[in-house]
């Protein structure tokens, strides 16, 4: 089993201010992508899991040193670009609940990467200094009808409690290291297949999003328009949504479909939103319902131009897609699309507050929202070269700690600057 790792090179800066703190270390040298950096190995121990997840506590072994993988200029507030070796299939999703606990998931049947790998579904966890050894949540299937995990997604909340769902329709819960045996979701009412849907087994043809605002509520939506809701430990009856027929066609609606990843965000157990192609799905606390997406022109459903969504409050949501962003305030329609990333390929967005959002694109750049405007794109991780079909994902916490990771495992972290002490104040004790 390959070891994952991280060395910490930290800088604490806001998007527009500067202050820096670095930590030197001396240790064995590791190599990845032909570039080396000496760092100190550390040991990672996860916090005790909550009662809603497996009760086994795992002390993770020492990690292999991390390396700088490409000459990305360090952006204000960001660490230099680092890497953690992918789990044989690329990283496809990331969730952070604090600056000392992030979980990344990948592996499985990941046909979106260059080598079309197939293997076990794997997670790794970050403790603020190092990545853990991989934890297998879904063993590589034996020859036969067993379906491998496909493009898994993860969502974590306090406890910690995490849920992993993948495009093959399997779900597993755990604490970031210990995982339940994956179980299959009950499918919703069938609809006629969307003509843009090539079917299972094609690159990017099956994906899913998940959001868990609490350990007792999670929402899962896949890219064929099936919505699943976990409430108080039980799954509610699934719902299915379709694309309306062409004008005058008279045919029944077909299932929704959008190639690539989709976005799901729940600000509470009574407010969720999902983006699937040309449709928005809303959860109001009792049921899901469908509304049109704010696109001026319908995206090509067979092209991975999926949208991502974040809602810092139950009354404010933002969607990113390709180069653009659109907003909605409760009771109002979606705003016109605003171009914020000329390079395009926006894959994900995270908004811990109404005055701070971070969106990441496929090329490894981010754009930041400060409550009134978006920043220019800033490259923080390299463009993936091995797992080129996997998204670049971002996850931010309430204290504005953020992590960005591409499919190759190249990642960077952001920490805002602390304001200087007021004149005449007494500095806090170390």
User: Residue 307's closest CA among 294, 325, 321, 324?
Assistant: 321
Mean pLDDT, the chain, rounded, equals 76
Task: Report the percent of the chain where pLDDT is more than 70.
Answer: 72
Which range is least confidently modeled, 107-116, 339-348, 366-375? Answer: 107-116
pLDDT value of position 35: 24
Range of weakest confidence among 120-124, 138-142, 240-244: 138-142
Average confidence (pLDDT) over 27-46: 27
Lowest-pLDDT range, 111-115, 140-144, 230-234, 246-250? 111-115
Of 63-72, 74-83, 338-347, 388-397, where does mean pLDDT reach its minimum?
Answer: 63-72
pLDDT higher than threshold 50 for residue 209: yes
DSSP states of 319-353: EEEBTEEEEEETTSPPPPPEE--TT--EEEEEEEE
Quick check: 109 pLDDT over 90? Answer: no
Q: What is the assigned CATH class of domain 29-244+253-414? A: mainly beta
Alpha carbon 238 to its chain centroid, in Å, reads: 23
pTM of whole model > 0.95? no
Listed range (85-94, 144-153, 211-220, 337-346) with the worst mean pLDDT: 144-153
Least confident of 34-38, 106-110, 152-156, 270-274: 34-38
Domain ranges of the chain: 29-244+253-414
Q: What is the DSSP letter of 179?
A: B
pLDDT value of residue 164? 97
Instruction: Return the pLDDT at 416.
Output: 83
């Amino acid at each position: 089993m390959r070891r994952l790792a991280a060395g910490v090179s930290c800088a604490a800066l806001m998007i527009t201010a500067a202050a820096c703190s670095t930590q030197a270390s001396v240790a064995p040298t590791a190599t990845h992508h032909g570039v080396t950096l000496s760092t100190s190995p550390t040991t990672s121990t996860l916090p005790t899991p909550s009662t809603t997840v497996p009760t086994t506590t795992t002390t993770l072994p020492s990690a292999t040193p991390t390396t700088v993988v490409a000459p990305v200029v360090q952006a204000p507030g960001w660490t230099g670009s680092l890497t953690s070796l992918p789990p044989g299939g690329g990283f496809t999703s990331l969730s952070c609940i604090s600056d000392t606990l992030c979980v990344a998931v990948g592996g499985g049947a990941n046909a979106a990467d260059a080598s079309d790998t197939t293997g076990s579904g794997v997670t790794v966890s970050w403790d603020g200094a190092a990545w853990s050894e991989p934890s297998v949540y879904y063993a590589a299937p034996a020859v036969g009808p067993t379906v491998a995990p496909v493009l898994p997604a993860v969502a974590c909340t306090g406890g910690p409690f995490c849920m992993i769902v993948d495009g093959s329709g399997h779900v597993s819960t755990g604490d970031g290291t210990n995982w339940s045996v994956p179980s299959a979701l009950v499918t919703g009412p069938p609809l006629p297949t969307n003509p843009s849907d090539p079917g299972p087994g094609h690159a990017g043809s099956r994906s899913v999003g998940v959001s868990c605002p609490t350990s007792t509520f999670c929402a899962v939506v896949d890219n064929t328009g099936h919505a699943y809701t976990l409430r108080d430990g039980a799954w509610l009856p699934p719902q299915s949504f379709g694309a309306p027929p062409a004008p005058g066609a008279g045919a029944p609606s077909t299932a929704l479909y959008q190639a690539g990843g989709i976005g799901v965000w729940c600000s509470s157990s009574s407010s969720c939103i999902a983006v699937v192609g040309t449709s928005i799905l809303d959860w109001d606390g009792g049921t899901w319902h469908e509304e049109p997406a704010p696109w001026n022109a319908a995206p090509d459903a067979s092209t991975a131009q999926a949208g991502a969504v974040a809602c810092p409050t139950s009354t404010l949501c933002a969607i990113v897609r390709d180069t653009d962003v659109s907003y909605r305030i409760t009771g109002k329609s979606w705003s016109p699309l605003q171009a914020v990333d000329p390079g395009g390929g926006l894959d994900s967005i995270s908004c811990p507050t109404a005055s701070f959002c971070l969106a990441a694109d496929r090329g490894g750049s981010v754009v930041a929202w400060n409550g009134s405007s978006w920043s220019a794109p800033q490259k923080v991780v390299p463009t993936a070269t091995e797992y080129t079909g996997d998204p670049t994902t971002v996850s931010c916490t309430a204290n504005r700690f953020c992590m960005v990771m591409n499919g190759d495992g190249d990642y960077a972290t952001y920490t805002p600057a602390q304001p200087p002490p007021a004149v005449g104040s007494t500095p806090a004790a170390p």
